[in-house]
Amino acid sequence: MLKTPQAESKSVDIMLRNNIKLIGKGEKTIILAHGFGCNQNMWRFILPFLEKTYQVLLFDYVGSGNSDFSAYEKNRYQQLEGYSLDIIEICDALELKNVIFVGHSVSSTIGWIASKQRPELFSKMVAVCPSPCFLNLDEEYQGGFERQDLEGLIQLMEKDYIGWGNYLAPIVMGSDLSPIGPGMSESDTLVHELLSSFCATDVTYSKPFAEATFFSDYRSLLPDISHPCLILQSSNDTLVAVSVGEYIKDKLQNAKLEIIEGNGHCLHMTHPMHVFNSMKAFL
């Protein structure tokens, strides 16, 4: 089907806006969606295995990575629906349907928002260390953080951005922040990479994304999601406890939960073969 000039223009604009890269030759498309403070490069460890079988779409949310920051709209990106609109517009611009959506952390929720609005865009979904809510709310649901602690983290982001990154990056990666030097381990390198990613983005863009990520509650969305979903949960994740993964599995209509033995919140970086093998079996 030929695209109209208007559709062609929109496709080009969105390709640049979201720094889209299409890799691989498969008939089925996988979209890899990065988490807060990250970028598409974080998927590079599993990309060589996926591109042999699938067309893989990598992108950066507006305000992250190498996206077009001039396209940033303050009101739009103060809530997760704004980021889900990025995904919907990408699919529409490239005329994609029945894609496999893989989301890391908050991108899992962003993908669920998009799938409820436009279910025909997706066939299956994979959630890596997801959380519909990071707050401790009641006896039934403990998201991991008290509101005042997260408010303090946001205040630190405003006052001391580097200090905020130094505090959060080791927690997310599940490894200490060691000095840069010849004796660095792979886990040390990954922590510094995440820290660099955090600090590369201006607080103007990262603060609204952080607030939308950590203060939102999308638990009520889960029962409406009918797509088959694989939940990959780290056995030792300071940000998201195993109990959260169990909660998500119980609330989704069609979900499988797999616990991967490991530390941290970025299993696709620290345990890429485990993630790939689990995805392969599910897909």
The residues annotated with a catalytic role in the active site are: 105, 237, 265
Q: Which residue stretches of 174-237 are H helix?
A: 186-200, 203-214
CA distance 244 to 233: 9
Q: Is the dihedral of CA 34, 233, 52, 30 positive or negative?
A: negative
- The residue assigned the tokens 């603060």 is 207
Contact 115, 125 (CB under 8 A): yes
Output the CA angle 234-240-243, nearest 5 degrees.
Answer: 85
Q: Print burial letters for 40-71: b (CB count within 10 Å at least 16), e (below 16).
A: bebbebbbebbbeebbbbbbbbbbbbebbeeb
5: buried, middle or exposed (CB in 10 Å: 19+, 13-18, 0-12)?
exposed
What are the CA-CA distances from residue 252 to residues 138, 225, 243 (Å)?
20, 6, 14
Please count the CA atoms within 13 angstroms of the CA of 283 that sit on its side-chain side: 22
- Distance of alpha carbon 39 from alpha carbon 46, whole angstroms: 14
The DSSP line for 118-166 is -GGGEEEEEEES--S--BB-SSS-B-SB-HHHHHHHHHHHHH-HHHHHH
Distance CA 214, CA 234 (A): 19
φ and ψ at 177, to 5 degrees?
Answer: -90, 100
